[in-house]
Structure 1
Amino acid sequence: MSSVSSSTSSSPSFTTTNARLLVVSRYHPDDVSFEGNGQPILSSEDTRNDGWDLFNHPRHRRALILRELASRSINNANNNGEKGHRIVFVRPAPPTNDVAGFHLKDSVYNKIHSPGLLDFLSTGWNRWDAMGEEGQDPSSTVKRNLAEEDDTAVLSSKATLPLIPGNVSLPRNDPYQRPSRNVMGQVGYYCTDTCTPLFAELLEELLWDMETVQMAVQMALSDENNDNNKEEEEKEGSSSSKCPAIVYALCTHPGHHAAKDAYGGYCYVNHSALAARLMQERLSQQQQNNNENTPPLPLPKVAVLDVDYHCGNGSASIFYDDPSVLVVSIHCHPDWDYPFHSGFEDERGVGDAVGTTLHLPLLPGTTWDKSYKATLERAMNEIQAFGAQGLVLSLGLDTHAGDPCAIRRAGFLLQGDDYKEMGALIGKYVVQKQQIPVVVVQEGGYKMDKVPVAAADVLLGLAGMTSASN
């Protein structure tokens, strides 16, 4: 792959990243090789773990998005020979040398998730694996790996199969429900479906995602980074010289369906919620540093905008009673598609937080011109009226026409330049008007021949980089 700008750092100072779009990912584009047919060459572990579900192939998606963004960087020209854009790729520092001994309860995820859930995600696989074949009930295992040509060989191998619920608990508001000590019981308590399995490499991937989110927030709120970006824009004579850089956290796993005490929908921990909380803390620290002799200031307001096809129900539930975080989700109506049990318009928050959850469900067949654009305009006006001092964009791309993860007879019909317009519309409000920091977190998107271009179009549109002149 062509060379692109790169840096690796564990420090919150990013003085070398004079770019409008900063991409934080475990891998650099040069780390990924491709076959002649354009498909990424993944490790055997990544190939195996991408094969446990018919639709969800997050490692494949990550590789394709990296390649697309690299192809649009300043070191490359597009098919028309036009100049590329200033995109910098950054690797976070490795999370730990002792993944097996690390516990998520001791991480920043304890800011948004329960100790019980984090304990299960940290220890569940090892306890399941230790049970051996004689103790692992078939009802709690994935039955088939789609990446293997011979499923019989997979099922007959000695390798432990992923853990999924064999049963689920009654509604959580029942005071007599609690997780069993048995790992097969616990998975049914914490997991909401059978398509989000526990597997051997999960904890390591979640730790890399954690580092990715933390670095993205640090970079988005780095004064040095944004000052350098402004200077570079002024040299180029750009009219957007006051605009901060956009930081894209290209996590492996999506996260917006993960709630405080539950996971599912391909999501284990909620990266967007974590980014929002970390953004608040960093903004608060900056405010206190600028007002040393004043009493503690109120927690800064942050907004989460979720444009995934499926409702960001986990994000909404985490902040449902928090008036300092506005969660806006534009999604398919839950009468038609997942998550079915939440995402309705009348879910608006509780107590002092009434009005800080805004669900904007749309019907199957939604197009950009007929209803999506107007709904997004409404969302951006609400975010502006809320007075958000930072934005987390949960970027799901399963709104694309033909995405295979939509329930039959459902699905949206966004396509082509719709994603450029989506990014530009969001950028008009938060980058140009409000000039607030933006962290974009990758969520879903399963039509692999369309997702990479759609992702790049949103990001470049958001950063005001949709034409060669920018």
Structure 2
Amino acid sequence: MKAVYSPLHSRHDGGMELHRGELVPCYEMPRRADYILAAIEAAGLETLPPRPFTLETVLKVHDAAFVTFLRTAFDQWKAIGKDGFMLPSGFAARSMRQDVIPPGINGKLGYYCYDAGTPIVEGTWDAVLASAHCALTAAALVADGERSAYALCRPPGHHAGASTYGGYCFLNNAAIAAQYLRDHGSARVVVLDVDYHHGNGTQDIFWSREDVMTVSVHGSPETEYPFFRGFADERGEGKGEGFCHNFPLPRGTGWDEYSATLDQALAVIRDYAPDAVVISLGVDTYENDPISAFTLGQQHYPLIGAKIATLGLPTVFVQEGGYAVADIGTNVANVLTGFEQATA
């Protein structure tokens, strides 16, 4: 399996985030990608740089004004005499107007962002665009005939909606990859999200579509971020009704329940009969993850890869979460090698 990686990820080093009421150093840090890169290279994956792509590939799933905001946010921040990391101080909540984009940067932050855990710094856009290009390159490899490919995306992407960011995510790499596959020969695509946290952004982007199904196995939003999406009764709307499937699980879920639920999710995918699958690969289901509460061990990640391989589909793996930094590389490599061994 080929892996796609860009060193530009290190340009995004967020500083501090607000996590469950406390201002703490960012859990989503550059070292995450460094550990993953070392582990996948040790596992024998060939690492490639991302190809260049036009911004149109991003605009197929993201609102143009939102992308312009991400591109220019830090320059606007500096223009009012600020520096360091940017976090919103107010949000466009239920009683607030949604139809007016504030002209000032502080208002724009709260309009486009939905949490105080996703800082923007001077190098964020460089890292975000490179991350999207990693996902696009992996999708292109698969569209061109590779059985599978892995995108070492950082920042991650599955919480980013069409015009919103949060949860450490700015552009939705998995959605961008899925759209690329749609545009290059796949009539039906599934995004399977195995991150601990629900991929609310991916669900948002494909909510009204029948050509891209979203399937997610995750911690219940009754207790887990993003709190307001990921319930089992969310099924899509319009043409997309019935093409969204959520499998929320309680805190403390171990391998037996997780494995059985993943089997259910895979059965839904088989019934849909897609041409390709994109895996939002979070490994924050790990028992030692500092911001998650499942109890999977390192021995379970090759089994996840092997289960995904039973789909028998062209597969793009896109990196999402995982915050037990010392072990993240091993867990990611275990999924990928488990997949490869099952398809050998």
Q: State the SS of the aligned residue for 2:110.
A: helix
Tell me the equivalent position of 2:289: 403
Greater relative CO (CA pairs within 8 A, separation 6+): 2
User: Residue 167 of structure 1: which of 84, 90, 94 is its match?
Assistant: 90
Deviation at 1:251, TM superposition (A): 1.1
User: Residue 428 of structure 1: which of 295, 310, 322 is its match?
Assistant: 310
User: Residue 91 of structure 1: which of 28, 35, 49 is its match?
Assistant: 49
1:274-313 equivalences in 2 (<5 Å): 274-283=176-185, 300-313=187-200
Q: How many correspondences in the alignment? A: 337
Q: State yes or no: 1:385 paired with 2:271.
A: yes
1:231-278 deviations in Å (ceiling 9; x for gaps): xxxxxxxxxxxxx2x200101111000011110000001000011100
1:353-399 deviations in Å (ceiling 9; x for gaps): 11100010001110111x11111111111111001111000000110
Q: TM-score, normalising length from structure 2?
A: 0.93
Paired with 2:242 and 2:74, the residues of 1 have a C-alpha distance of: 39
Tell me the equivalent position of 2:136: 214
Tell me the equivalent position of 1:68: 39
Q: Identify if the C-alpha distance between structure 1 residues 301 and 94 changes in structure 2 by more than 3 Å, giving closer, same or farther.
A: closer
Tell me the equivalent position of 2:117: 195
Paired with 1:177 and 1:352, the residues of 2 have a C-alpha distance of: 25
Tell me the equivalent position of 2:4: 24
Q: State the SS of the aligned residue for 1:189.
A: helix
Tell me the equivalent position of 1:15: none
Paired with 2:116 and 2:74, the residues of 1 have a C-alpha distance of: 15
The residue type paired with residue 189 of structure 1 is Y
Contact 2:15/2:119, CA 8 A, preserved across alignment: no
The residue type paired with residue 341 of structure 2 is G
Q: State the SS of the aligned residue for 2:48.
A: strand
Tell me the equivalent position of 2:242: 355
Tell me the equivalent position of 1:414: 296
Contact 1:55/1:446, CA 8 A, preserved across alignment: no
1:111-190 equivalences in 2 (<5 Å): 111-132=60-81, 136=82, 160-171=83-94, 177-190=99-112
1:270-300 deviations in Å (ceiling 9; x for gaps): 000011100110015xxxxxxxxxxxxxxx1
Greater Rg over alpha carbons, structure:
1
Contact 2:221/2:229, CA 8 A, preserved across alignment: yes
Tell me the equivalent position of 1:454: 331
4+ residue segments displaced more than 4 Å: none
Tell me the equivalent position of 1:372: 258
The residue type paired with residue 90 of structure 1 is L
Q: TM-score, normalising length from structure 1?
A: 0.69
The residue type paired with residue 23 of structure 1 is A
Paired with 1:27 and 1:188, the residues of 2 have a C-alpha distance of: 29
Deviates more, 1:213-222 or 1:268-277: 213-222
The residue type paired with residue 123 of structure 1 is T
Deviation at 1:177, TM superposition (A): 3.8
User: Residue 56 of structure 1: which of 27, 49, 61 is its match?
Assistant: 27
Contact 2:143/2:184, CA 8 A, preserved across alignment: yes
Tell me the equivalent position of 2:20: none
Q: Identify if the C-alpha distance between structure 1 residues 278 and 314 changes in structure 2 by more than 3 Å, giving closer, same or farther.
A: same
Contact 2:115/2:166, CA 8 A, preserved across alignment: yes
Contact 2:309/2:342, CA 8 A, preserved across alignment: no
Contact 1:190/1:262, CA 8 A, preserved across alignment: yes
Tell me the equivalent position of 1:440: 317
Tell me the equivalent position of 1:253: 155
Tell me the equivalent position of 1:147: none
Q: Which runs of 5+ in 2 are unaligned?
A: 18-24
Q: Identify if the C-alpha distance between structure 1 residues 391 and 423 changes in structure 2 by more than 3 Å, giving closer, same or farther.
A: same
Tell me the equivalent position of 2:22: none
1:235-274 equivalences in 2 (<5 Å): 244=147, 246-274=148-176
Q: Identify if the C-alpha distance between structure 1 residues 179 and 377 changes in structure 2 by more than 3 Å, giving closer, same or farther.
A: same
Q: State the SS of the aligned residue for 1:463.
A: helix
Contact 1:56/1:266, CA 8 A, preserved across alignment: no
Percent sequence identity is: 34
Tell me the equivalent position of 2:21: none
